[in-house]
Structures are given as C-alpha cells and as structure tokens.
C-alpha cells in the first residue's frame, strides 16, 4: 500500500514539475497576446486575457498593465486595485506608487490606509522582524548555556541580560506590529463597481444598514477606497447570505467611522482571500 | 520415463570406461571428396578411433586452401561384433583458392595426454568445369539481382559544404516491383559523423521508375543536411525492409533469397540495405572580410521589415517584424541584433518559420519584436543590418532592412470634468500623464499567489526552533554532566582567597596578606596534587608533593621561598613596607601560574 502511495507521490511530483514550466510559458504567451491586443487597440480583449492569466499566476507588470487598461477605460477603482496588487508584488517600483497616487487623485479617493504605518513595521518586514527576534533569542540562550557561570554576583551578567531582554522586547514588538499590518492587509478590500459596463459606472459605493439590496445606505465611500472586512472568530470574513443567494460582507473604512454591508461583487481583495 | 533415463545413465556410467579402454587409439585423415573442381568445396576429416576425447594440436597453413573454423565435431560409440568401438570426428570445410594438388602433412596430435601421429592427406583441385562456370555465373547474377532488388541512393547538390551551411539533400529507397516487400522496417539512417541532418518526414512515392532494365517503386525523403565539423567525412545511409521468403532447405547456399529470385509466400525476413559510401567535405567559413555583425547565417537571403502601425502613444507597444527569406540555414539562424537607440524599449523576439519545415532550408523566417516608444515625437526606427555568407559565391554580404518613421503622441492629458465645473484652476493634474502608465512588454517574475507570508505556519520555522532547542538542551546537559562540585568549591575558595589577598594588600594588612597567600598556595598545590584536606598541608609536605608531581626545580624553589617569606613576614608587623608586599604578590601570582 505504501509503495502505491509512493508511486502516486512520484507521479504527481513529476507531473507538477512537468506542468509548471509549461504553465509559465503559456502565461508568457498570453501576456504577449494581451500586449499585442492592447497595441492593436482592443483594450477589452487585453483586459480579458490579463484577467485569465490572474486566475493562475500573478506578476507586478501584469497587474500594472491591467491597471493601465482600466485607467484607460476610466474604471479608476479597478486601476487602483491592480496597482495595489502590483505594489504588493514589487514594492520597490516607485513608478507603481506614483501611478497609484495619480489614479487615486483621478478617482477622488483619499489614501487613509498607510497613514499611521511606520514603514519599518510594515508587512514587508514581517519576516525580518521574526528572524531578528529568533536570532537574538537563540544567541542569548546559546551564550548563556555555553559560557556563562551561574554567578549572580557579577554585574556584567545583569547588563548583558538587560540588553538581551530589551532587544527581545524590541524585535518582538516589531514582529507584532508587522503582523498586525499583515492582518489588516489580508482583510483589506477595494470598493469597485459591480459591473464593468462603461455606461453603468458609478462613483460611490453604498455601505448599507442591513444586508439586503433594499436596505438604505448607512454611508457612501468613493469607488477605489479601501475597506476592511470584519472577521469572525476563525479569522475569516463575516458574511451573511441573503435569500436570493447574494453574499454580504460587513466592511468598514480605514478610519472605522464608515461601516455597512456590501455585496461580494462590490469589493475585491488585494491579496488572495476567501471571499469569493 | 524417469526409470528409463536412470537405466540409460547407469549403462553409460558402466560402459564408458569399458568403451574407452577396449580399443587402441588410432587416427585417420582424409579429404572427402579427394578430387574437386575450383568451384566446389571438400571436407577434411580427422577421425580418432578408440577415444572420444578431442585431439589437441593445430592445422598447418596450406597455401591455396582455406579451412573453416571452428570445425564440426562428431562423437560415436557402438558395438561391432560384441566389441565396443568409440570414435571422434573433426570435419573442416575446405575451400580451394587455386588449382593444384595440396597435401596436408603428417600432424602431431595429443589425445588423453599421449602423442599420436595423424597421416597426411591429399586433395586435388582441378579447373572448374563448364557446369561450374554456369553455376557461378548464375550465382553472380542472383547476387546482382539481389543488390538491384533494393538499394539506397543518396544525392547531395554539392560535393562540399561550408561549416554551418544547410543544403537540401535527398535519399531514395529503390524497391524492385517483383520484390515482395511487406513493410519498410527502418527509414534511412545516416551513417557517419561530422554532418547533421533534419528528421526524415513522410517520403514521396514514385512508381514505375526504370533502372537496370527493371521497374522500381521509389520512396524519396528530402531533408536538410548541415555541415557540423570541418574535414572530409564519409557518409552513407542504411535502411531495412521486411520481405516474404520461401524456405528452401535444399539450397546449397542456405540463403532464402538466392535460389528463388521471386521469393513467393512463406516466412518474413529482414533485408538490410546500405547506400554507397560517399565522401563529403566540410569547409570552414573564410575569416577574410567577415563582417562584424555576422552571426552565422549562411545562404542566399534577403531581409524585409514592417511595422503594424506608424502612429502610437508613448508606452504603447508596436510590432516590428523582420522577415528573412530565401534559402539558408534557418534552423540555426539567430535573430538579428536590434540597435534602434534609446528611444525604444525592445522585448525578445518571437520566431516563426514559413516554408519546408522538414528541411528548414527554403522559406522565410520571421522575427517579431515588441517595441515600446519611450519618447514622444517623430521618431525613426533605423534600418536593421544583417550579414550572411553566400556559399555559391563564397562571399559575405551585408544587407539592411528599410527604415521606418513613426509618430509617437504624448498621450491624452487627463482632465477631471468635475474639477473643471467647480474650478478652472485645478483642471490639469500636476503629474504629467505622459510619464505614467507605460505598458510593460515583459511579464516579469511570476508568482503563484498573492498572500502575506505565514512563517508561523511554516514547517521549516518549527523545525529550526526544534533544532535550536535540541542544541541548547544538549549544551546544558553536557555542561551539567561535566560539573565537578568539589573542584568548583575549591575554585570558589581560591577566588575568595584572591579577594582576601587583594583586600589585605589594599589595607596593608601584612599578616592577613601572608596568611591568605599561604592558604592559596596550599589550596592550589592541593588542587593540582588531588589532596582533599589542603589546610593541613605543611610547607615540607607541599614541597614533597610538588617534587612527586615532577614540577621543575625552579618552580619548587620559588614556592619554597614564598612559603618562607610567608612564614617570616606573617607576624613581622611592618605595614609601611607596601612595596615588598606588592612585590611578593607579583612573584606569587607569576609562580602560581606555573602550577596547573
């Protein structure tokens, strides 16, 4: 039985190794097709191709190009969304940040997401903080267990210990803050137009009092604004399914002042998140 | 059945010694037949009577006769008139090379360890008879028929190629219409190195081709032949076909093809076919007047370029297509280098070939570049240079594509209509649109998903933690095991004494200083010499212990002096003599360092 499982494992692994490069190659081809479609002026076809690629893989340039197309189609909310994705994939690219600022300006969106965030505690440094904390912790443990005598009368031991604890506290705090930032990013969604039809583009998204289409709006936020979904006990977004089968999520603005129910078609997460 | 086999076995066991010992060993030699014509063969036989063991020895070389090797052997045992008789026969097929009388001389052979003499034998070879001549001619005819029944023909347009040059060559398989071929087992395979060829595809079939007064079906494969290594190379082709043959057991040549040229129905046999060996020379490309931009293209080629549009906005990609047409080594042709200035960003080209894909020799190769203009204005795409070597003229040529002018617009300036209505002052965004939203022509690094890292859910993280815990625990356990409480207590005592000595030195307490120093000396010697009760050691015992431990005499003398000083000055009450104390302390520290 074990041999069968082993064989199955090898077959599946081999298939994965064979198929992965081909997937990448086919996505490259699709990407070039989309670039050509855009060059020939068929923006909608280019958008369709890019969206098809995003079902399997992502790249910063792909999302930047997609944002560009949405910008040309005057769907600033989706342009903002894809620029955020591009920035997540390539945070060093200043062009994306400039474009995002411009798209937000065009969409009339005020950036409130990163106001309180110290860059060092951002999600990008999450791993760095954890590594720093771990290194410091284990170096301390190893030094103590290898060299130090159990002498509590030596002042040096106290000084070193104090530095060690302070370092641990600081790196732990850094890790905690970047982890909070990561949690926020995971539940962050962008308000988008439920339809991609040009003649049906709206400017604001209604945050409703109750989870239903007939409910009146509690407040409105401009399309392209960041919203944060409320989570349940399992760290999954809280949602309500209406009798018609629509999924409604409780979302609030970055400041937390605006809050209301939105349909799943009206939002899209920046990162992969189980809302669809 | 088993009983019968057992009986045979026992009979064999019982009678074998009897058979071998019953008859004296005797050797006969003969040619059978002793007289032959040059067209026939004879058999040279060595018959050993009285033994079944093969004789050891060798046949002499007879000029004009060819003996088959290995010979056929035959063993027999019989009872003749109640007398057991055994025999061993060796038969060599002898083929005469010329006419004449040949004698195999007397041979010395060894049988069962004893030496015996085999008598001489004579063979007479006479000229071939008329019947032999007819048979030989028939046989040659049949052999020719067989060679002409199926053969391969290889045609190369030139007797030499240049290194890297590709030509269209043809290999044809001729099959005689009367040959009952069931299938072609193996398409022609190249035999020879230094030349590469493209794969053979489907052959062209032609029927009723006349050769050697026979009608043939011809299967021809066209393929690309490329010279790889300079030098002269032998080239031939081999193939195999399956034909139906009839078993002819009476055939003297035991060749199913010879005696029955029309074969007929029966079993299938494989027939190997080889083309004639042909020598092909591969010449290196001349280095004289070789252009700088030459990248290995060989043939008779031309270049053409086109753009899909001549008006775009900044950042919008354009398709620049370079087409190289003619005949040449398209399979190995690299894309021309595109140097069109800093006004454009150029992506890698897409390749496509139109033409005979089996040979990749004639047709057109298209290189499609995605070019993105980075600046606005009327910009020229300069001609693209391309160099190639023409093997027919044996010269290098450099050609260029045509240049193109494109108009690159800066793009539309975004104006917010809402802002326009409210205030005309803020109508244009402060950021220029032309620097924004440039389409990337390369996808960049692919990522499978968009998610934040979750190191606490990573097995590597927890394995690292576990590993570190194990290492730290091991170090602790190791240190705890190595702990010696007695030794640590003594070291602690030594530290305390050190403290006391320094204290006494500080307060100029001569008595306390010498007291503590003496105790320290005792303690150190006690630790080194494994003495438990160090406080009870007298000066003489300390010196004895050091000598027993074989410390150098100068160290022992120094310790002795120190102890004497301690004894003398402990109660000297001379607090002013601080310099002496410090001197003693330094000496003591230096001496005690030697006792380890």
**For residue B349, which residues of chain A lie inside 8 Å, CB to CB?**
none
Residue A134 confidence (pLDDT): 93
Cβ-in-10-Å burial (0-12, 13-18, 19+) of B198 comes to buried
Residue A16 confidence (pLDDT): 58
In the predicted structure, residue B248 carries a pLDDT above the cut 70: no
Residue A165 confidence (pLDDT): 94
B443 at A interface, C-beta within 8 A: yes
Q: Do B450 and A59 touch (CB under 8 A)?
A: no
**For residue A127, which residues of chain B lie inside 8 Å, CB to CB?**
453, 455
Taking the domain A188-269, which CATH number applies? 2.30.30.40
In whole angstroms, what is the distance from residue B525 CA to residue B541 CA? 10
Q: Do B318 and A88 touch (CB under 8 A)?
A: no
> Nearest residue on chain B to A84, judged by CA atoms?
B450
- Tens of pLDDT, residues B361-419: 888 888 888 888 888 778 888 888 888 999 988 889 988 888 888 888 776 554 444 55
> Nearest residue on chain A to B455, judged by CA atoms?
A127
- If pLDDT is split at 50, 70 and 90, which confidence band does A40 have? confident
Q: Do A90 and B443 touch (CB under 8 A)?
A: no
In whole angstroms, what is the distance from residue B234 CA to residue B226 CA? 14
Q: Please identify, among B99, B126, B153, the residue that sits at the C-terminal boundary of a domain.
A: B126
Q: Is residue B456 part of a domain?
A: no
- If pLDDT is split at 50, 70 and 90, which confidence band does B435 have? very low
> B273 and B393, same structural domain?
no
Give the tokens for residue B134: 């007819």
> B121 and B40, same structural domain?
yes
Q: Please identify, among B105, B126, B147, the residue that sits at the C-terminal boundary of a domain.
A: B126
- Average pLDDT for B80-91: 82
Residue B427 confidence (pLDDT): 43
Residue B276 confidence (pLDDT): 86
Q: Do A270 and B350 touch (CB under 8 A)?
A: no
Residue A274 confidence (pLDDT): 59
In the predicted structure, residue B574 carries a pLDDT above the cut 60: no
Q: Which of residues 184-243 of B touch A (CB under 8 A)?
A: none
* Total structural domains within chain B: 4
B317 at A interface, C-beta within 8 A: yes
> B262 and B308, same structural domain?
no
> B270 and B143, same structural domain?
yes
Residue A108 confidence (pLDDT): 85
Percentage of chain B with pLDDT > 90?
A: 8
Q: Is residue B228 part of a domain?
A: yes
B486 at A interface, C-beta within 8 A: no
- Give me the residue from B444, B461, B476 closest to A61, CB to CB: B444
Q: How far is B422 from chain A (nearest CA, A)?
A: 14
How many contacts (CB atoms, under 8 Å) link A and B?
117
Q: How far is A150 from chain B (nearest CA, A)?
A: 11
**For residue A178, which residues of chain B lie inside 8 Å, CB to CB?**
none
- Tens of pLDDT, residues B284-306: 888 888 888 888 889 989 998 98
Asked if B160 and B180 count as a contact pair (C-beta separation under 8 A), the reply is no
Backbone torsions φ then ψ of A53, nearest 5 degrees: -65, -40
- A127: phi > 0 → left, psi -120 to 50 → alpha, else beta; which? alpha
Contacting residues for B122 by C-beta, under 8 A, at least 6 apart? B31, B34, B101, B102, B103, B104
In the predicted structure, residue B446 carries a pLDDT above the cut 90: no
Least reliable range by pLDDT among A197-211, B226-240, B322-336, B400-414: A197-211
- Residue whose tokens read 């391969």: B152
Range of the domain at B190: 139-282
- Tens of pLDDT, residues A41-58: 888 899 999 999 998 899
> B267 and B155, same structural domain?
yes
Q: How far is A57 from chain B (nearest CA, A)?
A: 5
**For residue B449, which residues of chain A lie inside 8 Å, CB to CB?**
58, 272
Q: Is residue B114 part of a domain?
A: yes
In the predicted structure, residue A198 carries a pLDDT above the cut 80: no
Q: How far is B384 from chain A (nearest CA, A)?
A: 22
B450 at A interface, C-beta within 8 A: yes
Name the residue with higher pLDDT: A114 or B203: B203
Residue B579 confidence (pLDDT): 64
Least reliable range by pLDDT among A179-188, B77-86, B109-118, B466-475: B77-86
In the predicted structure, residue B429 carries a pLDDT above the cut 50: no
In whole angstroms, what is the distance from residue A168 CA to residue A139 CA? 11
In the predicted structure, residue A276 carries a pLDDT above the cut 70: no
- Tens of pLDDT, residues B185-222: 888 988 888 888 888 888 888 888 888 888 899 999 98
**For residue B483, which residues of chain A lie inside 8 Å, CB to CB?**
none
Q: Is residue B536 part of a domain?
A: yes
> B276 and B300, same structural domain?
no
> B390 and B339, same structural domain?
yes
> Nearest residue on chain A to B313, judged by CA atoms?
A39
Residue B20 confidence (pLDDT): 47
- Give me the residue from A56, A58, A61 closest to B440, CB to CB: A61
> B118 and B157, same structural domain?
no
Q: Which of residues 351-380 of B touch A (CB under 8 A)?
A: 370
Q: Do B447 and A130 touch (CB under 8 A)?
A: no
- Average pLDDT for B8-33: 65
In whole angstroms, what is the distance from residue B285 CA to residue B282 CA? 9
What is the 3-class SS of chain A, one letter each residue? CHHHHHHHHHHHHHHHHHHHHHHHHHHHHHHHHHHHHHHCCCHHHHHHHHHHHHCCCECHHHHHHHHHHHHHCCCHHHHHHHHHHHHHHCCCCHHHHHHHHHHHHHHCCCCCCCCCCCHHHCHHHHHHHHHHHHHHHHHHHHHHHHCCCCCCCCHHHHHHHHHHHHHHHHHHHHHHHHHHHHHHHHCEEEECCCCCCHHHCCCEEEEECCCCCCCCEEEEEECCCEEEECECCCCCECEEECCCCCEEEEEEECCCCCEEEEEHHHEEECCCCCCC
> Mean of the per-residue pLDDT values for chain B?
80
- Tens of pLDDT, residues A159-169: 888 999 999 99
Q: Do B429 and A106 touch (CB under 8 A)?
A: yes
Least reliable range by pLDDT among B7-21, B29-43, B112-126, B331-345: B7-21
- Give me the residue from B436, B450, B453 closest to A85, CB to CB: B450
Q: Looking at the predicted complex, does its ipTM rise above 0.85? A: no
Q: Do B440 and A65 touch (CB under 8 A)?
A: yes
Residue B21 confidence (pLDDT): 47
Q: How far is B340 from chain A (nearest CA, A)?
A: 19
- Residue whose tokens read 């071939």: B128
Interface test with B, best of A29, A96, A102 (most B CBs within 10 A): A102
> B146 and B270, same structural domain?
yes
In DSSP terms, A240 is beta-bridged to: A248
Residue A138 confidence (pLDDT): 93
Q: Do B450 and A182 touch (CB under 8 A)?
A: no
> B61 and B144, same structural domain?
no
Q: Do A39 and B440 touch (CB under 8 A)?
A: no
- Tens of pLDDT, residues B467-506: 999 999 998 888 888 777 777 777 788 888 888 888 888 8
> B299 and B274, same structural domain?
no
Q: Is residue B385 part of a domain?
A: yes
In the predicted structure, residue B463 carries a pLDDT above the cut 90: yes
- Average pLDDT for B152-178: 88
> B106 and B22, same structural domain?
yes
B445 at A interface, C-beta within 8 A: yes
Q: Is residue B157 part of a domain?
A: yes
User: What fold characterizes domain A2-107?
Assistant: 1.25.40
| B259: CATH | 2.60.40
- If pLDDT is split at 50, 70 and 90, which confidence band does B434 have? very low
**For residue A56, which residues of chain B lie inside 8 Å, CB to CB?**
448
Q: Do B450 and A123 touch (CB under 8 A)?
A: no
Q: Do A123 and B452 touch (CB under 8 A)?
A: yes
Least reliable range by pLDDT among A198-202, A254-258, B81-85, B471-475: A198-202
- Give me the residue from A35, A62, A145 closest to B479, CB to CB: A145
Q: Please identify, among B282, B303, B332, the residue that sits at the C-terminal boundary of a domain.
A: B282
In the predicted structure, residue B425 carries a pLDDT above the cut 50: no
In the predicted structure, residue B439 carries a pLDDT above the cut 90: no
Q: Is residue B287 part of a domain?
A: no
**For residue B431, which residues of chain A lie inside 8 Å, CB to CB?**
98, 101-102, 105
- Tens of pLDDT, residues B475-485: 888 888 877 77
Q: Is residue B511 part of a domain?
A: yes
In whole angstroms, what is the distance from residue B411 CA to residue B181 CA? 72
Q: Where do the domains of chain A lie?
A: 2-107, 119-186, 188-269
- Average pLDDT for B522-549: 82
Percentage of chain A with pLDDT > 70?
A: 82
């Amino acid at each position: 039985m074990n041999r069968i499982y082993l064989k199955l494992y090898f077959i599946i692994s081999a298939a994965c190794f064979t198929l992965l490069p081909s997937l990448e190659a086919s996505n490259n081809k699709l990407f070039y097709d989309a670039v050509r479609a855009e060059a020939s002026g068929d923006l909608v076809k280019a958008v369709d191709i890019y969206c098809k690629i995003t079902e399997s893989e992502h790249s910063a340039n792909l999302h930047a190009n997609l944002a560009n197309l949405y910008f040309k189609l005057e769907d600033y909310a989706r342009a903002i969304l894809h620029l955020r994705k591009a920035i997540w994939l390539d945070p060093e690219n200043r062009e994306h940040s400039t474009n995002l600022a411009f798209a937000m300006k065009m969409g009339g969106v005020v950036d409130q997401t990163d106001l309180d965030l110290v860059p060092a505690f951002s999600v990008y440094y999450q791993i760095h903080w954890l590594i720093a904390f771990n290194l410091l912790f284990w170096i301390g443990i190893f030094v103590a267990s290898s060299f130090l005598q159990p002498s509590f009368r030596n002042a040096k031991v106290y000084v070193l210990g104090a530095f060690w604890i302070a370092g641990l506290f600081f790196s732990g705090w850094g890790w905690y803050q970047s982890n909070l930032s990561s949690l926020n990013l995971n539940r962050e969604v962008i308000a988008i137009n439920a339809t991609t039809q040009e003649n049906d583009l709206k400017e604001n998204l209604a945050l409703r009092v109750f989870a239903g289409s007939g409910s009146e709006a509690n407040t409105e936020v401009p399309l392209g604004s960041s919203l944060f979904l409320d989570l349940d006990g399992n760290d999954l977004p809280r949602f309500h399914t209406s009798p018609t089968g629509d999924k409604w999520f409780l979302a609030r603005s970055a400041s937390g002042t605006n809050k209301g129910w939105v349909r799943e078609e009206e939002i899209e997460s920046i990162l992969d998140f189980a809302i669809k | 059945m088993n009983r019968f086999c057992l009986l045979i076995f026992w009979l064999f066991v019982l009678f074998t010694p009897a058979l071998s010992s019953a008859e004296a060993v005797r050797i006969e030699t003969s040619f059978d037949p002793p007289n032959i014509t040059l067209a026939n063969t004879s058999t040279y036989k060595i018959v050993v009577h009285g033994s079944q063991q093969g004789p050891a020895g060798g046949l002499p070389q007879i000029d004009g006769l060819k003996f088959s090797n290995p010979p056929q052997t035959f063993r027999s045992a019989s009872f003749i008139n109640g007398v057991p008789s055994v025999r061993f026969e060796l038969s060599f097929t002898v083929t005469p090379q010329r006419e004449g009388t040949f004698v195999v001389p007397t041979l010395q052979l060894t049988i069962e360890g004893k030496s015996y003499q085999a008598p001489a034998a004579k063979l007479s070879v006479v000229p071939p008879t008329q019947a032999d001549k007819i048979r030989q001619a028939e046989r040659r005819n049949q052999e020719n028929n067989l060679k002409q029944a199926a053969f391969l023909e290889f045609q190369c347009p030139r007797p030499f190629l240049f290194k890297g040059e590709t030509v269209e060559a043809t290999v044809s398989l001729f099959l005689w219409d009367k040959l009952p071929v069931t299938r072609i087992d193996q398409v022609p395979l190249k035999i020879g190195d230094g030349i590469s060829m493209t794969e053979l595809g489907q052959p062209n079939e032609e029927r009723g081709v006349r050769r050697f007064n026979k009608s043939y079906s011809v299967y021809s494969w066209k393929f690309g032949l490329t010279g790889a290594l300079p030098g002269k190379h032998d080239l031939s082709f081999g193939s195999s076909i399956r034909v139906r043959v009839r078993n002819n057991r009476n055939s003297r040549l035991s060749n199913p093809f010879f005696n029955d040229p029309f074969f007929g129905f029966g079993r299938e046999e494989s027939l190997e076919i080889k083309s004639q060996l042909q020598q092909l020379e591969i010449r290196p490309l001349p280095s004289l007047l070789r252009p700088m931009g030459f990248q290995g293209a060989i043939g008779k080629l031309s270049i053409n370029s086109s753009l899909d549009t001549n008006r775009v906005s900044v950042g919008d990609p354009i398709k620049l297509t370079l087409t190289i047409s003619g005949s040449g080594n398209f399979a190995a042709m690299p894309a021309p280098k595109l140097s069109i200035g800093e006004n454009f960003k150029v992506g890698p080209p897409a390749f496509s070939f139109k033409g005979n894909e089996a040979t990749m020799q004639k047709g057109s190769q298209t290189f499609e570049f995605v070019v993105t203009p980075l600046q606005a204005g009327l910009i020229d795409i300069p001609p693209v240079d391309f160099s190639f070597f023409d093997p027919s003229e044996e010269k290098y040529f450099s050609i260029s594509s045509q240049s193109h002018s494109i108009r690159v617009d800066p793009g539309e300036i975004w104006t917010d209509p809402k802002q326009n209505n409210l205030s005309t002052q803020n109508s244009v965004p402060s950021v220029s649109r032309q620097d924004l939203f440039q389409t990337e022509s390369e996808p960049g690094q692919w990522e499978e998903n968009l998610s934040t890292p979750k190191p606490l859910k990573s097995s590597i993280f927890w394995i690292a933690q576990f590993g570190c815990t194990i290492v730290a625990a091991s170090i602790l356990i190791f240190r705890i095991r190595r702990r010696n409480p007695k030794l640590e207590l003594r070291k602690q005592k030594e530290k305390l004494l050190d403290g006391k000595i320094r204290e006494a030195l500080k307060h100029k307490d001569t008595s306390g200083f010498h007291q503590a120093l003496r105790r320290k000396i005792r303690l150190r010697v006690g630790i080194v010499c494994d003495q438990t009760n160090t406080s009870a050691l007298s000066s003489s015992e300390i010196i004895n212990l050091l000598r027993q431990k074989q410390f150098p005499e100068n160290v022992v003398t120094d310790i002795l002096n120190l102890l004497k000083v301690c004894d003398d000055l402990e109660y000297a009450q001379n607090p002013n003599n601080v310099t002496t104390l410090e001197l003693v302390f330094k000496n003591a520290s230096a001496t005690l360092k030697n006792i380890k």
